[in-house]
Amino acid sequence: MSDKAKDARARRVVFGLDDQNRSTIASDGYTETRLVTEAWTLNHLWEQTSVPSDVLAENTLTEKAANMPPSGGYKFMVTTYAPDSEWDYEAGYRDALAAGGIGDSLVDSDIPGLHATDTVDIGTIISGELWAISETGETLLRPGDTWVMRGTKHAWQNRGDVPAVAAVIMIGATRSS
């Protein structure tokens, strides 16, 4: 993977209250909770263990970057997807999911990287292009396009020559069947 994708960083500005109960910038800096793989770089920005949460609840992220949000909670991240031509797509996808703690989400399929998680994921492409792959088809996502992944089997491909960047919130969910 190119250094451009590996070095992707996300700045997080957090507002809060000062000692006089006035709004203030409580912190400003790049997130340290990151997962860098051959396939993608995840910059985790904010997490809550439950919803609803207090509006001033502290971030529950730890130093270890993992893909899944807490059950009943959510995780917000900026993900940079490396161009597929820069890495071994089939093996690298499996390794990237395992590095994020969701290697068991892979499903047996002829579609490389096909996986499913118990989450509702809402993402918007910021730059680049990303192919969203399902069992029955695929669609190209461009900047400004948003997807809603509802625990269904899917894979991602970046067939372009520049990293694709997306802002994604993953919400812990359950399956009724």
Q: If you count DSSP H runs as helices and E runs as strands, how many of each does the chain have, helices first?
A: 2, 11
Domain that holds residue 43: 3-172
Three-state DSSP state, 6: helix
- Asked if 120 and 148 touch (Cβ cutoff 8 Å), the reply is yes
What are the two backbone dihedrals, phi and then psi, of residue 103, each rounded to the nearest 5 degrees?
Answer: -60, -30
Whole-angstrom distance, CA of residue 158 vs CA of residue 141: 10
Degrees to nearest 5, angle at CA 30 with 24 and 32: 115
Question: For residue 124, is it within any domain?
Answer: yes
- Asked if 118 and 172 touch (Cβ cutoff 8 Å), the reply is yes
49/176: higher pLDDT: 49
Share the mean pLDDT of the chain: 93
CA 151 to chain centre: 14
Question: For residue 143, is it within any domain?
Answer: yes
- The CATH number of whichever domain residue 64 belongs to comes to 2.60.120.10
Q: How many domains does the chain have?
A: 1
Question: For residue 57, is it within any domain?
Answer: yes
Residues of the chain with pLDDT > 90, as a percent, come to 80
Question: For residue 69, is it within any domain?
Answer: yes
Question: For residue 109, is it within any domain?
Answer: yes
| Structure tokens, 18 | 């000062």
Nearest to 100 by CA among 65, 72, 130: 65
HEC letters along 141-152: ECCCCEEEEECC
pTM score of the predicted model: 0.92
Whole-angstrom distance, CA of residue 147 vs CA of residue 84: 20
Question: For residue 177, is it within any domain?
Answer: no
Query: Per residue in 149-174, pLDDT tens?
Result: 999 999 999 999 999 999 999 999 99
